[in-house]
Chain A
Amino acid sequence: MKSATYIERLNRPLRTYAFLFLAFLYVPVLFLPLFSFNDSLYISFPLKAFTTKWYAQMFADQPMHAALMNSLKVGVATAVFATILGVFGAKAVTRYRIPGRKPVVFTIMLPLVIPGIIMGVALLMLVSRLGIPLSLYTVTLGHVLISVPFAMAILIARFEGFDKSMEEAAADLGDNAWWTFWRVTFPIVFPGILASLLLTFTISFDEFIMAFFLSGTDPTLPIYIWSQLRFPKKLPGVLALGSVILVVSFVVVFASQWLRGRGAARISDESSEP
């Protein structure tokens, strides 16, 4: 459309700013794929020849595969647990008249502002005191702890955005609490659940500090990458891996946006009622 109202009119300084901002965000990231195809151990210009050997090296790297699998397992488990906890927490906070609602929410949200290193040390102390061996389970525990606030934040917004008379209507029409949840609450908050799963998975997947303190002999991917950086020979392989992760992340983000768009079109007016 060509109609340019005052607000829609092109704004040159704003465009320049937007361009610089995007460049600042993405240029460093783009070096990753660039050098991953460069036939040199060292990251420096000028570029040498084109090669895919780093990718071949990466795909042959068995310990890396193991680390990737570890991260996927931890990420999926974290996403599922954090989101389930988030759903029940958000429902409790928004639906029931619980005494001291504010302090409860505050306590749940607190891990957002506690530095990861402190949380990590604290959890490590606790876990070793209890005599629990460090493993992927302890990493998952730590990740769930730091992910729940994010899941809650997303889901509280979703729960608050829909009218509780929807649930009352379901009860009024003969559904008990269980059926009401599955037939009304769940479908309406579903886009929020999806968003929460994706976000908490992402948080877990690239989390370093907690994993550093809490993992045992099985490293997660960030831990593995970090350990490889000590060997200059391994660096290009890490770049290749980084590029792959970058592409996969883009695909996931676009997919989730697309899903959200479809979800929004379907459930667009649930909060349009007063």
Chain B
Amino acid sequence: MSGNDAFISIQALSKHFGPVKAVDRIDMTIGGGEFFSLLGASGCGKTTLLRMLAGFETPTAGDIHIDGVSMDEVAPHHRPTNMVFQNYAIFPHLDVRKNIAYGLRVLRLGNAEVDRRVDEMLEVVKLPGFGERRSNELSGGQRQRVALARALIKRPKVLLLDEPLGALDKKLREEMQLELRALQQSLGITFIFVTHDQEEAMTLSDRIAVMADGKVLQTDTPEQLYEAPNSREVGAFIGTMNFLRGRIVALELDPETIVVEAGAAGTFRVAGTGRGRTVGDPVLVGIRPEKLSVSVTQPADGTNAIQGRFAAMSYLGDRSHYFVEVDGLDQRISVASQNDLQHLLAVGQLDFGAEIWLTWAPAGAVILAD
């Protein structure tokens, strides 16, 4: 994180629509120049939170401070934020140039200066020569760039983006992701980016807030969210995760290890601190599919291994997903393997129903708050 660590601070912010708690007591701090994403399923309150930041919705309770100033009484047209709308909201009665120049009226610049800035913005969003078109003469990706240029020309402190890439096809989307990230880094503007696509959030963000039902479940870097989710919901929302329910049977020091007994999945070791835990506590253990390896013979060391039956597989070229049934577990365990030579030689062609072993390192699993 660069610059001011609490450039935007949100305290106990709520928005209720009648009985619906669209945003429910959210606390959040966002640093200056940060690329911050709000990630969550449809209807979890992302747009509502963004609209409160922009000033279009009045909070039911709570505070928003931007750069140390309370936004409580500040109207949308006076906020240091600009928004890229989910549907772009390009003005249909104006051409691209006039759309981009729209926000310059309040600055009372001369015509020459306006033209210069618009040309510069057209350059930045790679649309030179498109100035005379109207919104119905633009493709989705071009509209998105116009919306971006129109917001950026105001040089806002904070840019709010509501699923700006949602309507684009995969290839264009990936291109625009790279461009957005490059733009954000060169301009140093704080981006708050709403998406329900976890891959997109992971690629772009410095930090991500995972939301559900109007609450924030976890705010962390993409890596931390993936490697150390704090709950089952987060683990399941970001990528895939296998869950094993068990009980602590021992706590070891040096290295710090928690020994878990998990019924059908046997007894295994999880790297992690035992601080705050006691033997006998129930725990939920999460293991990512790629942390598991498949073996056709029983591993020599008896711990951190589950025996199961090969039930299904999807082949994805460079890697494969295996689905393994384990007696006593109601959910299949999913395993991701690189299809490298080593793996192929070791595992070979598996028949459905074949007995196989799954093994993992103690550091490959995490204990989740449940």
- In the complex, chain B residues 83-131 whose Cβ is within 8 Å of any chain A Cβ: 83, 85-89, 91-93, 102-103, 105-106
Q: CA of A81 to CA of B327 in the docked complex: distance in angstroms?
A: 79
Considering the chains assembled together, what is the distance between the CA atoms of A166 and B135 in angstroms?
13
* CB < 8 Å neighbour of B77 from A162, A175, A267, A272: A175
Is B14 an interface residue when CB atoms closer than 8 A count as contact? Answer: no
- By the criterion CB–CB under 8 Å, are B92 and A168 in contact? no
Q: Are A172 and B82 in contact (CB under 8 A)?
A: yes
Q: Are the CB atoms of B154 and A174 closer together than 8 Å?
A: yes
Q: Does B150 contact A (CB under 8 A)?
A: yes
- Which residues of chain A are near B134, meaning CB under 8 Å? 266, 269
Question: Which among A173, A175, A176, A187 has the greatest number of chain B C-beta atoms within 10 A?
Answer: A173
The answer to whether B76 and A168 have CB atoms under 8 Å apart is yes
Contact A174 B75 (CB under 8 A): no
A188 near B77: Cβ-Cβ < 8 Å: no
24 example contacts (A-B, Cβ-Cβ < 8 A) are as follows A163-B89, A165-B87, A165-B89, A168-B56, A168-B76, A168-B83, A168-B89, A170-B102, A171-B76, A172-B76, A172-B81, A172-B83, A173-B103, A174-B77, A175-B105, A179-B105, A184-B91, A187-B93, A188-B93, A267-B92, A268-B92, A269-B135, A273-B87, A273-B88
Residues A272 and B136 in contact in the complex (CB < 8 Å), given A165-B89, A168-B76, A179-B105: yes
Which B residues touch A187, using CB under 8 A? Answer: 93
Asked if A274 is at the interface of the complex by the 8 Å CB criterion, the answer is yes
Q: Is B39 an interface residue (CB 8 A)?
A: no
Q: A174-B105, A175-B106 are in contact. Are A168 and B85 (CB under 8 A)?
A: yes
Say if the beta carbon of B54 comes within 8 Å of chain A: yes
Complex Cα distance A272/B76, Å? 26
Contact B56 A176 (CB under 8 A): no
Q: Inside 8 A of A266's CB, which chain B residues have their CB?
A: 93, 134
Inter-chain contact B89/A173, CB cutoff 8 Å: no
Q: Which of B92, B106, B154 has the most CB of A within 10 A?
A: B92
User: In the complex, what's the smallest C-beta–C-beta distance from A245 to chain B, in angstroms?
Assistant: 34
Q: Which residue of B lies closest to A173 (CB)?
A: B103
Tell me the complex Cα distance, A270–B93, Å: 8
In chain A, positions 243-274 with a C-beta closer than 8 Å to chain B are: 266-270, 272-274
In the assembly, what is the distance between CA of A170 and CA of B93, in Å? 13
Question: In the complex, which residues 37-89 of chain B have their Cβ closer than 8 Å to any Cβ of chain A?
Answer: 54-56, 75-77, 81-83, 85-89
Scoring A residues 71 to 108 as 1 if CB is less than 8 Å from chain B, else 0, what string do you get?
00000000000000000000000000000000000000
Give the CA-CA distance A116 to B54 in the complex, in Å: 49
If A175-B77, A268-B136, A269-B136 touch, whether A169 touches B83 (CB-CB below 8 Å) is yes
- The interface residues of chain A lying within 8 Å CB-to-CB of B87 are 163, 165, 273-274
Which of chain A's residues have a CB closer than 8 A to the CB of B151? 172-173
Instruction: Looking at the assembled complex, report how far the CB atom of A96 sits from the nearest CB atom of chain B, in whole angstroms.
Output: 13
Contact B77 A172 (CB under 8 A): yes
B54 — which chain A residues lie within 8 A by C-beta?
168, 172
> Which residues of A (212-246) have their CB < 8 Å from a CB of B?
none
Interface members, chain B 338-361 (any A CB < 8 Å): none
Q: Provide the bound-state CA to CA distance between A188 and B85, in Å.
A: 18
> Which residues from chain B contact A179 at a C-beta distance below 8 Å?
105
User: Chain B's nearest CB lies how many Å from the CB of A185?
Assistant: 10
| A188: B residues at CB distance < 8 A | 91-93
Distance (Å) between the CB of B239 and the closest chain A CB? 30
CB contacts (< 8 Å) of B105 on chain A: these are: 174-175, 179, 183
A171: chain B residues within 8 A (beta carbon): 55-56, 75-77
Q: Could you tell me the distance between the alpha carbons of A259 and B271 in the complex, rounded to whole angstroms?
A: 75
Could you say which of B76, B93, B154 contacts A267, with CB atoms under 8 Å apart? B93
Known: A168-B56, A168-B85. A173 touches B135 (CB 8 A): no
A173:B88 contact, CB within 8 angstroms: no
Complex Cα distance, B87 from A273, in Å, reads: 7
B residues near A170, Cβ cutoff 8 Å: 91, 102
Q: 3 shortest A-B CB distances, which residue pairs? A: A269-B136, A173-B103, A270-B92
Q: Mark B120-162, 1 if CB is under 8 A from A, else 0.
A: 0000000000000011100000000000001100100000000
Chain B residues with Cβ below 8 Å from A270 are 92-93
A173 touches B154 (CB 8 A): yes
Expressed in whole angstroms, the Cα–Cα distance for A266 and B133 within the complex equals 11
Distance A174 CA – B79 CA, assembled complex (angstroms) = 8
Which chain A residues lie closer than 8 Å to B76 at the CB level? 168, 171-172
Besides A166-B89, A170-B102, A269-B134, 8 new A-B residue pairs in contact (Cβ under 8 A), listed by A number = A166-B91, A169-B150, A171-B56, A172-B77, A173-B154, A175-B105, A176-B77, A266-B134
Tell me, rounded to whole Å, the shortest Cβ–Cβ distance linking B268 to chain A.
50
- Most B Cβ at <10 Å: residue of A162, A169, A188: A169
* Cβ 8 A contact of A174, one of B85, B92, B103: B103
**Chain B proximity of A257: nearest CB distance (Å):** 20
CA distance A268 to B135 in the complex (A): 10
